[in-house]
A and B are shown apart, each in its own frame.
Chain A
Amino acid sequence: MNTVDTTTTADQVPDRGRDRAEATSWGSRLRSIAPRFGMVGLLVLLLVVFSILRPVSFANSANLRTILVESAVLTILALAVMIPLIANDFDLSVASVLGIASILAAGLPSKSGLSVPLTIIAVLAVGVIIGIAHAVLIVLFDLPSVVVTLGTSTFLGGIVLWYTGGAVLYEGVPTALTNLGSKSVLGLPLPVYYMIATAAVLWFVLERRPWGRNLYAVGSSEVAARLAGVNTVRTRAVALITCSTLAAFAGLVLTARVGSGNPSISNAYFLPAFAAAFLSLAAFRLGFFNPLGVVLSVYLLAVGVNGLSILGVPSWVEPVFNGTALVVAIGLARLSIGKSRRLVGV
């Protein structure tokens, strides 16, 4: 009896393995891979449809270049938002950091006479300092990230008002700085390269460096990661500091491109940056925030909005389109990964 029992069970175990091997065969492999590239397909579809409808005004290199460069700053900011989100930390202050960085990039040379290299260093240092403050409050003192960054965001908004008096700073921004935002290489403006470099470096450290893996582990379960020997304090702190620094970099690029500092610019960036970060859950690594997904998301929305405006739809369509895309995408991400796991934990 006993021997019979053991053989049956021993047979059952490899059986399950065989089922799995069959499950990873052709048809179902396609079915499991297809959702990851659904958004790529959607982007291609939009490009094709708009090109057919407006072959002249949409499908020309100038328009496509406009789409690329107009969203470069937003992409860098959305990549910044994404980093702490991987570990379930929300940084609601990114747009305000972009705002103060943009103002300082315009104001430090014009008001205080700082050289361009010193201005760049100072602006990035402000981002690092804000990030360190966040890391201390959120990671060391264990305060909720949503509340802390809501506080710093409001605080920074006040500082910007004090520094500018509410006026746009457009005088005396050195050309050495604006060159960094307007010069083109190989037909593409520099900000596009900054964006590509940021995404590439982030892809590398998140996918190929232990810190990235640790960050995803913390996002998966902070306590399990800590017990597994992950230095969760350092991992989360580095994520928050990188986030603020990147947001400051985005502000710098913004000022370099537009040549002025606008004290109310941050409002225009807050929601799109978060929307793109969340949309990345539905691309490539389903259910995980990922840098390539963020880039794709920003450009999917940008192409949609650009195409719709060329078609002449009224301006209220843009937010309606963006909002719908976000909810549909998160719904698809949920469908494809199942209910076993939370998509975003607060």
Chain B
Amino acid sequence: MSAAPSSVTPAIRFDGVSKSFGPTHALRAVSFDVAPGSVHALIGLNGSGKSTLVKVLAGYHTADEGAISTGRVAFVHQDLGLLPSLTVLENFAIGREMSMRFGQIDWKAEAARAVDALAEFGLAHTVHQRMSSLPLAQQAIIACARALDRSRDSNIDALILDEPTSALPSNEIDLLADAMKVYAARGIGIVFITHRLQEVKDLADMVTVLRNGELVHTGPTADVSIPDMVQLMVGDAPASVEADWAPPRQDVEPTLVARAVSSSTLRSIDLSIRPGEIVGAFGMVGSGLEHVGGIFAGREAPAAGSVELNGSALVPGSALARQVGYVPSDRPRRGVLPGLSVRENISIRSLRAMLSWRGISRKGESRLARHWTDELSVKPRDPDAPILTLSGGNQQKAILARWLAIGPDAIVAEEPTQGIDVWAKQDILRRLRVAATEGAAVLLTAVEPEEILDFCDRVVVLRRGEIVLDAARSDVAITDILSAMH
């Protein structure tokens, strides 16, 4: 299936779409067509403008300039928006007008409608099953079918899939691919946003690449290789930056050592981190990376193998494991202590040191909080502000300060720069470097290597639960890392 001839009305036409947020140009004059009946992949690094483009299309943002012409569009977002404890049928019916009969929900009519929507994917038998009992790929297809069902009275022109595959195991992606073919055959234009370049090659007819808000390439997928796509996404970024710190010593015993660590997603990982070393671990969602942080910080037990801190095994819940600094990726739910103040969020691990017969020293605690809010330039400077009144970046600083305050031998930070502004990012990464210089072993994990790569001494890439690249930062370029991830 190649690009449709230009005489056909496109399913979506982006015509010079620009959008700025203050001084930041999120999109600059982006123009391309999505042909009816084609699968059009949209790729780009973090911050390239993909999600802004989707939000403009969805009407969440208004374009500053340019126009989008399209008919009806259905969206399926990354988290699929399903209710896992309900049945497939209930998921279909809830949230829209339901068929009623004698004042009750007409489940027969609802079931018929759901079966109708699912039959062509061979999923009609699932209507009465609980959503959570189905494989993720089937859930993704059901989410798509539901999105179309919502607007079945009017014909859909385009379907936007915003990273629906990011959580799928690779062997389930074929199912979704078949579903996409069914929709394309109906003449629907599909925009498919993904981080996985192999999927672009396998599933998409056309590919559009965004970089820093600009469209840098659009054309048939057959014309570009995966290395080409990486190059297009990265542009001519410098291969590496000069480190302005001394390389970590190689003649010391490693602080944090993982021996043959396996979990549901990791396969026999060996990795050791020396004092003073910052290791960046990268991988796509589904690569097993999401379990690395918790296991290395001793917060989760591996299924097999062990992680040792200074030669002693880390057991979750043990006093030793609680000494490892851990900055979880899900900051709102797992990082901050939401009801408490900035001061209390920072001091929670340092209270014993400030204890006298009069209890926790008020002065000592305030001094500690003040010291760290200054050190990391936490705004506002008021340590008694409730933590939730701070921006994400400042919350992240407070969580990091919690650990820096006890001077841990090892710090594990998942997605340390996720959802935070560029200044906070610099403050956090610089302070982690200081901690490393003072002797801490640091492990950072990220699905988007460009965020933190330049602050690492060593780079590890995970794919399908295995380490596929382990090299000094100075020996690899970002293109090598992205290629290893895909």
Contacts and interface: CB of A to CB of B under 8 A. Distances in A.
Interface of A: 5, 8-9, 13-14, 16-17, 20, 24, 204, 207-210, 213-214, 216-217, 219-221, 223-231, 233, 287-288, 340-341
A227 B326 contact: yes
Which 4 residue pairs spanning A and B have beta carbons closest together? A208-B359, A229-B322, A220-B339, A210-B351
A17 B385 CA distance: 11
12 contacts: A20-B382, A20-B385, A204-B359, A209-B355, A209-B360, A213-B360, A214-B348, A223-B333, A225-B337, A227-B326, A228-B326, A229-B323
A217 B337 contact: yes
A216 B339 contact: yes
A340 B386 CA distance: 10
B335 A208 contact: no
A287 B334 contact: no
Q: Name which of A8, A213, A216 has the most chain B CB atoms within 10 A of its CB.
A: A213
B416 interface: no
Nearest to B321: A229
Given A207-B359, A219-B339, A220-B340, A228 B348 contact: yes
Contact of B349 (A17, A208, A228): A228
B337 A210 contact: no
A286 to B, nearest CB: 11
B381 interface: yes
Given A220-B338, A221-B334, 17 more contacts: A14-B379, A20-B382, A20-B385, A208-B358, A208-B359, A209-B359, A210-B360, A213-B344, A220-B337, A220-B339, A221-B339, A223-B333, A224-B333, A224-B335, A229-B323, A229-B326, A341-B388
Interface string B448-482: 00000000000000000000000000000000000
Contacts of A227: 299, 326, 328, 334-335
Interface in B324-345: 326, 328, 333-340, 344
A279 to B, nearest CB: 18
Nearest to A288: B339
Given A9-B423, A227-B334, A287-B339, A217 B379 contact: no
Contacts of A221: 333-334, 336-339
Nearest to A18: B380
Contacts of A230: 322, 348
B326 to A, nearest CB: 6
A341 to B, nearest CB: 5
Q: Name which of A17, A227, A287 has the most chain B CB atoms within 10 A of its CB.
A: A227
Nearest to A218: B337
A226 B347 CA distance: 15
B402 A228 contact: yes
A224 B338 contact: yes
Contacts of B380: 16-17, 20
Interface string B358-375: 111000000000000000
B189 to A, nearest CB: 38
Given A13-B379, A217-B348, A224-B333, A341 B385 contact: no
Q: Name which of A223, A225, A288 has the most chain B CB atoms within 10 A of its CB.
A: A223
A14 B402 CA distance: 23
Contacts of B323: 229
Nearest to A340: B388
A22 to B, nearest CB: 11
A8 B380 CA distance: 17
A17 B379 contact: yes
A39 to B, nearest CB: 20
B337 A228 contact: yes
A254 B317 CA distance: 40
A207 B360 CA distance: 8
Given A9-B423, A229-B322, A229-B349, A16 B379 contact: yes
Contact of A213 (B338, B351, B358, B381): B351
B61 interface: no
B339 A341 contact: yes
B385 to A, nearest CB: 7
Contacts of B347: 213
A233 B318 CA distance: 11
Nearest to B318: A231
A220 B345 CA distance: 11
A207 B344 CA distance: 11
B422 to A, nearest CB: 9
Contacts of A231: 317, 322
Contacts of A220: 337-340
A17 B340 CA distance: 20
Contacts of B336: 221, 224
Contacts of A216: 339-340, 344
